[in-house]
């Protein structure tokens, strides 16, 4: 089950150097990125007129990717191509380009996340240093996983979940043990490095809960199943919007028309709670009920935003979808409110990324390890109900390492 790498003293020094460099780059970038995200979010909410500039931001993003992006426009799917076929290059421009594009998306009112950005710059740094040290294909794959782990862990302040997520995502829910130790090292190093830079991480409530062999188990499965259905809706919505807007061949026209639809939706809704990251709504869901339609609106706005060419990722919107859905049904479920929301928070994410273990561990790191057993039941239920398709179209299910 466990594979080992035969390492000389020189190999060990090379591994230490590469992991340290990847961790430093990812941790520092995450800190700067989080500070910038906080600033653009606050600026947008205090200057709402800027949302009317969304089409202009879209045109600029398309221009940047057409002019400088090349293969970087594939986003996270390029990382899967790199893992499955190591000859695939990750252009270094991907890191700064995705950061700038994500900040523009959030500044002007797009509904997107930030995980895709962190995963992409973490992988970019990993690929860069792996090539500089001339590592072979097998080691390149491991460093790639370590880079993704560093980006994810430093962004969300969840190093254990970051490591598990990075090794779990490449095999549809199955762990690649070979890469786990390097992924753990980079995750913790990048996380601590990001913390030293004073990154503004979101703080969630600590939950005290004891799972008994009672109806709570059944309710956890029910919540997970509902989240799995929400995942299916997200994936289907993304497919429909992508197919619909691909009929508009010109990328500039596509993103302008899509932006106008988003702006119209924001105007008709009369609120900005469904755009940007939506962190205040996510945190509020742990204390108050949410509208029954909030999760659905977020699904539509996020899949529309990303399908027309804006950048950022899906994970934080998936947190929003899961948390608001759970907060809407929590009054009817005889399980502590915060526990229900904690299950929803990560279960839609689990179904969408096919990483149920990482998502359960993430909940434990964010809310306290007492929730791990019941959240794991929910994430597994969501994983099985969500179907074979997730948000990563290039994700495969076969053994390489």
Question: Which fold does the domain 9-196 belong to in CATH?
Answer: Clc chloride channel (1.10.3080)
> What per-residue confidence (pLDDT) applies to 5?
53
Q: What is the mean pLDDT of residues 80-88?
A: 77
Task: Give the angle subtended at the CA of 32 by the CAs of 117 and 146, to the nearest 5°.
Answer: 50
Q: Are the CB atoms for 64 and 100 separated by under 8 Å?
A: yes
Average pLDDT value for residue range 125-152:
90
pLDDT of 176 reads 65
The C-alpha angle 48, 52, 57, rounded to 5 degrees, equals 110
Predicted confidence (pLDDT) at residue 20 exceeds the cutoff of 90: yes
pTM for the model stands at: 0.92
Q: Where in the chain is the domain with CATH 1.10.3080.10?
A: 9-196, 215-385
The CA distance from 182 to 135, in Å, is 14
Report the percentage of the chain scoring pLDDT > 90: 71
Q: pLDDT value at position 397?
A: 56
Residue 115's pLDDT is what? Answer: 84
Q: How far apart are the first and last CA of the chain?
A: 11
- The count of other CB atoms within 10 Å of the CB of residue 141 is 23
* Reduced 3-state DSSP string for the chain: CCCCCCCCHHHHHHHHHHHHHHHHHHHHHHHHHHHHHHHHHHHHHHCHHHHHHHHHHHHHHHHHHHHHHHHHHHCHHHHHHHHHCCCCCCCCCHHHHHHHHHHHHHHCCCCCCCHHHHHHHHHHHHHHHHHHCCCCHHHHHHHHHHHHHHHHHHHHCCHHHHHHHHHHHHHCCCCCHHHHHHHHHHHHHHHHHHHHCCCCCCCCCCCCCCCCCCHHHHHHHHHHHHHHHHHHHHHHHHHHHHHHHCCCCCHHHHHHHHHHHHHHHHHHHCCCCCCCCCHHHHHHCCCCCCCCCHHHHHHHHHHHHHHCCCCCCCHHHHHHHHHHHHHHHHHHCCCCHHHHHHHHHHHHHHHHHCCHHHHHHHHHHHHCHHHHHHHHHHHHHHHHHCCCCCCCCCCCCCCCC
175 pLDDT exceeds 70? Answer: no
351: number of Cβ within 10 Å: 34
- Is residue 172 predicted with pLDDT exceeding 50? no
pLDDT at 291: 95
**CA–CA distance, 29 with 26 (Å, rounded to integer):** 5
Measured CA to CA in angstroms, residue 345 lies from 98, 334, 366, 382 at distances of 25, 18, 11, 12
pLDDT at 178: 79
User: What pLDDT sits at residue 79?
Assistant: 82
Least confident of 48-57, 168-177, 187-196, 237-246: 168-177
Largest distance between two CA atoms of the chain:
64
Which of 217-221, 310-314, 395-399 ranks highest by mean pLDDT?
Answer: 217-221
> Per-residue pLDDT tens for 337-383?
999 999 999 999 999 999 999 999 999 999 999 999 999 999 999 99
Q: Which overall architecture, per CATH, does domain 215-385 show?
A: Orthogonal Bundle (1.10)
> Average pLDDT for residues 98-106, to the nearest whole number?
95
pLDDT confidence of residue 392? 77
Give the per-residue pLDDT at 2: 37
pLDDT digits (tens, 9 = 90+) for 276-297: 999 999 999 999 999 999 999 9
- Confidence class for position 313, pLDDT limits 50, 70, 90: confident
Q: How many other CB atoms are found less than 10 A from the CB of residue 337?
A: 18
Task: Pick the closest to residue 65 from 112, 101, 119, 110 (CA basis).
Answer: 101
> Which of 277, 354, 362 lies closest to 317, judged by CA?
277
Q: What is the pLDDT of residue 89?
A: 78
Confidence class for position 214, pLDDT limits 50, 70, 90: confident
Mean confidence (pLDDT) of the chain: 90
> What is the number of residues in the chain?
401
pLDDT at 27 over 80: yes
Check if the beta carbon of residue 259 is closer than 8 Å to that of residue 308.
yes
């Amino acid at each position: 089950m466990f594979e080992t790498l035969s390492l000389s003293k020189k190999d060990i020094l090379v591994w230490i150097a590469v992991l340290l460099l990847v961790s430093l780059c990812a941790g520092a970038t995450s800190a700067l990125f989080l500070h910038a995200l906080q600033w653009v979010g606050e600026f947008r909410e205090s200057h709402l007129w800027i949302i009317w500039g969304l089409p202009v931001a879209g045109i600029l993003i398309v221009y940047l990717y057409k002019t400088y992006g090349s293969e970087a426009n594939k986003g996270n799917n390029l990382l899967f191509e790199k893992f499955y076929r190591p000859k695939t290059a990750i252009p270094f421009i991907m890191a700064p380009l995705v950061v700038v594009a994500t900040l523009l998306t959030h500044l002007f009112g797009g509904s997107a996340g930030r995980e895709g950005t962190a995963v992409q710059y973490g992988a970019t740094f990993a690929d860069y240093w792996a090539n500089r040290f001339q590592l072979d294909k097998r080691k390149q794959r491991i460093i790639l996983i370590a880079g993704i782990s560093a980006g994810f862990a430093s962004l969300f302040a969840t190093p254990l979940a970051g490591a598990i997520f990075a090794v779990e995502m490449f095999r549809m829910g199955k762990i690649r043990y070979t890469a786990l130790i390097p992924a753990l090292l980079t995750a913790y190093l990048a996380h601590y490095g990001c913390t030293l830079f004073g990154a503004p991480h979101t703080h969630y409530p600590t939950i005290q809960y004891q799972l008994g062999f009672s109806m709570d188990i059944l309710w956890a499965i029910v919540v997970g199943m509902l989240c799995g259905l929400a995942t299916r809706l997200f994936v289907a919505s993304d497919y429909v919007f992508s197919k619909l807007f691909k009929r508009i061949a010109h990328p500039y026209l596509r993103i302008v028309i899509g932006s106008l639809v988003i702006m119209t939706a924001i105007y008709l809704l009369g609120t900005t709670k469904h755009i940007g990251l939506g962190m205040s709504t996510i945190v509020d869901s742990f204390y108050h009920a949410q509208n029954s339609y909030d999760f659905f609106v977020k699904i539509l706005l996020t899949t529309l935003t990303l399908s027309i060419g804006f950048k950022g990722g899906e994970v934080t919107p998936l947190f929003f979808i899961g948390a608001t859905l759970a907060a809407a049904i929590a009054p009817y479920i005889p399980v502590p409110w915060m526990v229900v929301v904690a299950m929803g928070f990560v279960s839609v994410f689990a179904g969408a990324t096919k990483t149920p273990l990482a998502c359960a561990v993430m909940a434990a790191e964010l809310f306290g390890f007492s929730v791990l057993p019941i959240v794991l039941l929910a994430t597994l239920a969501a994983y099985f109900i969500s179907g074979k398709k997730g948000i990563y179209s290039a994700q495969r299910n076969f053994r390489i390492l």
